[in-house]
A and B are shown apart, each in its own frame.
Chain A
Amino acid sequence: MLSGGGVGAHPAGSRGLGFRGAMAAASSGADMFDDIVMAEERFHGEGYREGYAEGSHIGVVEGRRHGSLHGAKIGSEVGCYLGFALTWQCLLHKCTDEKNSKKIKVLDSLIGMIRKFPYEDPTYDKLQEDLEKIRGKFKQVCSILNIQSDFRISTERSSLTF
């Protein structure tokens, strides 16, 4: 409804000046009518501004509550994959035989995906899409490392299930 800039501006703020110009000079009755309309708009506008301030506050609080939970969930999940992958990368680096190099390659790929992923940006349009790809890659990592499902990321400990 509102364009940027005029925060709290009343949408009916500008009135038909042409009407006033034509009628005011002719009769004082039109002037009075004009005054009534103006007063109604003024009261509406005062209420609007008050409501707008209140609504903004409610909206921010409500939005933040939802947003912080959502952000915490994704931040925790992505951080978890990164910590997991970086640790395994360290664990495998000391012996670099053929078998390990394949594992390291998959780990590197997962780490690269996470680093490129702007998980902290809620306006990123492929947030969910990229997250699904990372989840898929993580599963691949677990399977190539021969990690049983009970020793993968344990979600039951976390208050944030993903």
Chain B
Amino acid sequence: MSWVKVAVSQSSEDIFDEDADEIYIAQKEWNSTMKKRSKEGYRDGIEAGKELALQEGFNQGYRQGAELMVTCGQFRGTLNALLSWCHLNGHDSSLSKINHLLDVVGKHEEDVLKYLNSLQEQPHLGDILDFVQDMDLSDTAPAGTDCDATKAGKYEHTGSSGKTCCRNKGKDDSLQSERSKAKFGTNPERLETLAWVKEQTMWLIEQLGLSLDMLHHIQQLGH
């Protein structure tokens, strides 16, 4: 190590400066390499994370969409059936009423779609659960269309045997107790739309003198 001593004693400052430059360059190189590695890792990570989450997200979204929209579909199908029946049996005076109800259901579907889209931006399970609860129309009668005691009684009666309309809704039962939670969205009228359509359809069925079976079927919609 004697050469080091010699070098240091001769011109210590110069040597020190050269070293400093080299260290500085090496440090810079090191930093940029590590930055590059980090960036590469980030890119690889994004791809891997996205690939795995896409399918998962799709499946979650699909279930939500299907479960929320099936009720709207049932209303629309029911009204379409009534429309065709009235047409075939000469009850033409009811056609415009049914068509109006179909328009309301169509608008409601659009609202549900918009809601679904807004939900995807910030997916919180709580919101979804609230919305699913709101779809259950049994005791959320809209203002001005209060269910009377007989109707409520009828509903309870059919409720026990009524598994015809909706499958896969078992989990709704566990949610009933949480019903008092805040309603979704900014417009509370939305969730009352289907309840209103239901009332109107039941009224129409009574006017047409259709069977009790029919009323039961309507009452079960949305459950």
Q: Are B48 and A91 in contact (CB under 8 A)?
A: no
Nearest chain-B residue to A142 (Cβ)? Answer: B84
Task: Choose among B61, B83, B116 the residue that contacts A63 (Cβ–Cβ < 8 A).
Answer: B61
| Distance between B222 CB and nearest chain A CB, rounded to angstroms | 10
A146 to B75, CA, bound (A): 22
Q: Does A24 contact B (CB under 8 A)?
A: no
In the complex, the chain A residue whose C-beta lies closest to that of B115 is: A68
- A152 touching B80 by the CB < 8 A rule? yes
Q: Are A50 and B70 in contact (CB under 8 A)?
A: no
Judged by a CB distance under 8 angstroms, whether A80 is at the interface is: yes
Report if A66 contacts B (CB, 8 A): yes
* B214 & A87 in contact (Cβ 8 Å cutoff): yes
Given A47-B45, A80-B77, the answer on whether A63 and B57 have CB atoms closer than 8 Å is yes
Which chain B residues numbered 18 to 76 have a C-beta less than 8 Å away from chain A?
33-35, 37-76
Q: How many residues of B contact A (CB 8 A)?
A: 78
Inter-chain contact A120/B82, CB cutoff 8 Å:
no
Q: Which residues of A contact B141 (CB under 8 A)?
A: none
- Cβ of B181 within 8 Å of any chain A Cβ, yes or no, is no
Stretch from B152-160, B162-170, B182-190 forming part of the interface with A? B162-170
Q: Interface residues of A toward B: which range?
A: 35 or more
- Asked whether B57 lies within 8 Å of A84 as measured between CB atoms, the reply is no
Are B113 and A50 touching (Cβ within 8 A)?
no
User: Binary interface profile of A, 35-54, with partner B (CB < 8 Å = 1, else 0)?
Assistant: 00001110111111111111
Contact with A along B73-93 (1 / 0, CB 8 A): 111111111111101100000
B211 CB within 8 Å of chain A: yes
Number of contacts between A and B (CB, 8 Å)?
297
- Give A84-142 interface residues, CB cut-off 8 Å to B: 84-88, 90-91, 93-94, 115, 119-123
Closest to A114 in B: B167
A47-B41, A84-B77, A154-B102 are known contacts; what are 20 more A-B pairs with Cβ within 8 Å?
Answer: A8-B49, A46-B41, A47-B38, A50-B42, A57-B53, A59-B57, A60-B53, A62-B57, A63-B54, A63-B56, A63-B61, A64-B60, A67-B65, A71-B67, A82-B74, A82-B77, A83-B76, A85-B81, A87-B77, A154-B80
For this complex, 28 residue pairs linking A to B, each with C-beta atoms less than 8 Å apart, are A47-B39, A47-B43, A48-B45, A52-B45, A54-B49, A55-B45, A55-B46, A56-B49, A57-B53, A63-B57, A67-B65, A68-B61, A71-B61, A78-B73, A79-B70, A79-B72, A82-B73, A84-B78, A84-B80, A87-B82, A93-B213, A94-B211, A115-B167, A120-B168, A146-B88, A153-B76, A157-B105, A158-B106
